[in-house]
Structure 1
Amino acid sequence: MPHLDTTRLRLPTGTGADIALAGVVLVLVGVAEGQRLGSDWNASTSVIGSWLLAVAVCVALPLHRRHPVAVGWLTVIGTGAYYLLSTVDGPLVLVPIAVLYALAARGRTQASVAMAAVMVIGVGAGVLAGTGDVNGTAVFMLTGWLVAVVALGTMRHGRVAYAEEEARLRATQERLRIARELHDVIGHNMSMIHVQASSALHRMQKDPAQAQEALTAIKQGSKEGLQELRATLGVLRQVDEQAPTAPAPGLSRIDELVSSTARGGLDVRIEESGTTSPLPAAVDLAAYRIIQESLTNAVKHSGARHVAVMIHHGERGLRLSVEDDGRGATRSRHEGGSGITGMTERARALGGTLSAGPGSAGGFLVRGQLPFPDHHEPIGGAVDDQDPAGG
């Protein structure tokens, strides 16, 4: 005996569901109208008219997705005319109810409310005229059904709109995150390359040895930048569940960052205080990127020669400060790029704060506070990870 797999049974959706509903309603209307035929199957004009109206309403139902308002009015008016001609209480009213729900679910609330009002007024007028079996109780029940259908459709529209808006927000946040990562990955190395290239061009004729040293630094910096860019793009390309092979940048790699900055002629001093312990992955990455961007800005905009980086490990968070001895707050720092905005967004994403502006003794000062989550898992390789790509 063959086994019936119930998991493969699916109710029709979309146009298929409309056709199925129209077919069922038409069959039920046919059975009800068959009671009006005599033993000789002699159909009167009203019976023929009722049949034609029922067929028109049912045939129009699958078209409501293309012409929702027009089909809605056709089904409402057609159903009303059917009940005026027919003496049986057939199920044709299910068709306009289904159309009203679809209209409300699409956000056409005004049209669906207007059609529901016309249906209630029409039935109420029929009660006052004393037509058929319809009475005040039927009007009350129909009103309740229509209000419920329109309300459910409106709720459905609201939920779909909320889900779409949430999806758009997530996509926007993801684009911003990717843009911020690429900016931080590329910006630092390109800034070092720009400084060294300018130095090489300036010293090419006067001091070939220093020019060659600058070109060597450009070669090394471009290699490291390309490797880090490839690692970042490799993570973005991953579509399976495998974890990335290269560790994420963190404070354990701060020495590499200082070395690359030193090739741009910047003397960086790192001071750490507090109890050093493995950091949450998000805080570790954000701290690294904030320091990286601050050093990049010092090279690009301030003309600084010395930078002091202070890192304090607290029980509930990490405090950072990066201060240089350059020209302070220049116009290009604030208008030339998205570095400070990106640092601020990173801090706020963790519930922290970041400020950037002139230092008390001149130069430029960046201060950030990155709180730890209540329950965090430290990254296992924060202390001794080594990047196989070399940075």
Structure 2
Amino acid sequence: MTPAARQAAAIEVLDAWLGGDALEAVLTRWARQNRYAGSKDRAAIRDIVYDAARCRRSFAALGGSETGRGLVLGGLRAAGVDPDTIFTGERFAPAPLADSERDTVDLATQPDPVRHDMPDWLWPHLSESLGPDAGPITDALRDRAPVFLRANLARTTRDAARAALAEEGIETRPHTLSDTALEVTTGARRVARSKAFQEGLVELQDAASQAVVDALHVTPGLRVLDYCAGGGGKALALAARGAEVTAHDIDGRRMSDLPERARRAGVDIARIAPGTAGRGFDLVFADAPCSGSGSWRRNPQGKWSLSETGLAELCRTQAEILDEIAPRVAPGGRLAYATCSLLDAENGRQIKHFIERTPGWRGVAEHRFTPLDGGDGFYLAVLEREPSGSQP
């Protein structure tokens, strides 16, 4: 496909997304209906589409309309590409620009939510939560996320994993956020097929997510309940450091791949059904459902689908989870609450309200990570239960 044909395909995909379809579903459907497109074409179209989704408002302003055509036009202008080289009207290319599409705007004159690609209602929440860093952090969310790997300490070291990947043409560099984190610099699309991945030397995991696990300071034999385990990424990281991990999720189907992932990683993780989480754990960890605002580089659709009502519902769910897991911590044990959110309503405010309504707990650590640190945005609070603390 020519560059112009790829942009035309992106316009088609973006129009379907703007019409209400899920982004990944549209991309998959397009690929199935256009099998002539090779892997490089599909990857290029995907990149165009995701860049437009991340920068929806600024690209729409630059392109003159919030349509697939407007977003692609705005993206070209943002990248410094002459639109007339793409909008030629030739075979498979978008139609030439109309006179009205030649008008341009100066983004510096646009409102903050437009310049930083955020919904209007959400910008005040982000400004309150992030202060003067709101602009730089949300601008970082407009870029593609790096690809990070976690060296699996149950099987190898970071240096050895890096060397094994290099033998397969996958270049990485250590990242400062975690002593297990590797950032892929070359060959990211080959990772899942690599021998190092298939043999469990590495797992795909964001560097800040790894830093969250590091901050829990688990020791061999520590009894840990991962209450919101999902696919099990953090459960695997905890088990790799020697913890005795029990994984739980309200939707057990989310953990369906965990046994195979644990086998590949060389660790044992017990799975339990919803509602049977038990008590007496040294550490109960909840990576709670959240807005995902810290990972919107990876899932840009999330920031456009989140609503004020949806955020309020998430906050209610988080409070319920905190109340649910507290009695499962042994006296003297710890509770760890994490989100991949940048919003204080889901983070520090939740912990403040929990401590106010729940006697017998004290905060012992709090960590905030943002894309300015290199990885996704994460929040972690660690609380300790008083040895004599009673829970209902």
TM over 0.5: no
Q: Which structure dedicates a bigger proportion of its chain to helix?
A: 1
Q: Which one has a bigger Cα radius of gyration?
A: 1
Q: Which structure dedicates a bigger proportion of its chain to strand?
A: 2
Structure-2-length-normalised TM-score: 0.18
Structure-1-length-normalised TM-score: 0.18
